[in-house]
Amino acid sequence: MISPFDLTGRTAIVTGANTGIGQAIAIALAQAGADIAAVGRSPASETVEQIRALGRRAEFVSADLSTIEPVQRIVDETVDKFGDLHILVNNAGIIRRADATDFTEADWDAVIDTNLKSVFFLCQAAGRHMIARHAREGGGGKIINIASMLTFQGGIRVPSYAASKSGIGGVTKLLANEWATKGLNVNAIAPGYIATNNTAALQADESRNAAILARIPAARWGEPNDLGGAAVFLASRAADYVQGHILAVDGGWLAR
C-alpha cells in the first residue's frame, strides 16, 4: 500500500531553501519523495547536495523576492526543469526590529514586500499553473505558506513583521476559499520560536530568551527540523481535506 504521505513524482518549490526552516522543509519533502526547486538569493548548494544524496532531483533557482519581478520566472524555470509543479512552500522572509515610534517607512516596505506581497503573487503564479493542470488532467496542488506566532499575536518591536504574518493568515484563508474547488489545498505552518538567523537577536538577549523559554511547555527553542513533518503532511494526500488551516508548530507556546 502506498503511504498517503508519499510525495514520489511530485515537484516542490521551496523559497528561502538555502538555510534554516526552508532548508529543513526542502530536505523533509525530498525524504518523502519530492523533487525540489530550491529558491533563494544566495546559492543553496548544501541543500541541493543533501537532496541529491537522497536520490531526488534538486535544482537551484536564483531569485530575490524583495520584488515580484522573479515570481513568474520561478514557476516557469521549475516547470521547464522538472516538467511540472505540484507543491509550493512560501518560506522566504525577512525581519526588521525597532520601536514602533522609530520604525521607518523603508523597513516597513522591505518586510511587507518580501513577506506578503511576493508571497501572494508567487501563490498566484503557481496557482494558475496548478489550476490549469487540474482542469486538464486532475492532480491538483498544495500551497504551504509560512506564518508565525505573530499571525496570532502582536509581538514587540517588529511592526511590519507582525503585519506581514497576520496578512499571511488572511491570504491563506482567502486562497483556500477560492481554490478549494479547483483542486488546490492552501494552508500555512506557524513556527514557534525556532533557532535560526532571524531569531539570533532574541536568543542573544538574556532576559527575552529566558522569558520565551519560560512560556514554552516543551522548554526549548524549536529546531528547523521540527517543521519537516508538518510540511510533509500538508503537502501530501493525507491533507486533502485540510483547507485554510494554520498549523502551529510551537512546542505548546499558544497553549500556555
Q: How far apart are CA 93 and CA 149, in angstroms?
A: 14
Cell numbers 535544482 correspond to 59
**Strands lying side by side in the sheet with 141-146:** 58-62, 35-40, 11-15, 87-90, 141-146, 184-191, 246-249
Residue 204 contacts by C-beta under 8 Å, 6 or more apart in sequence?
none
Report the helix count and the strand count for the chain, using DSSP H and E: 9, 7
Name the residue among 178, 196, 167, 95 with its Cα closest to residue 130.
Answer: 178
Question: What is each CA distance from 56 to 66, 120, 200, in whole angstroms?
Answer: 29, 28, 32
- Is residue 241 part of the annotated active site? The answer reads no
Residue 208 contacts by C-beta under 8 Å, 6 or more apart in sequence?
202
Q: Is-contact 23 17, C-beta < 8 A?
A: yes
Q: How far apart are CA 168 and CA 63, in angstroms?
A: 20
**Stated length of the chain:** 256
In whole angstroms, how large is the CA radius of gyration of the chain? 17
Q: How far apart are CA 29 and CA 150, in angstroms?
A: 25
Exactly one of 60, 120, 161, 253 is catalytic; which is it?
161
Catalytically active residues are 161
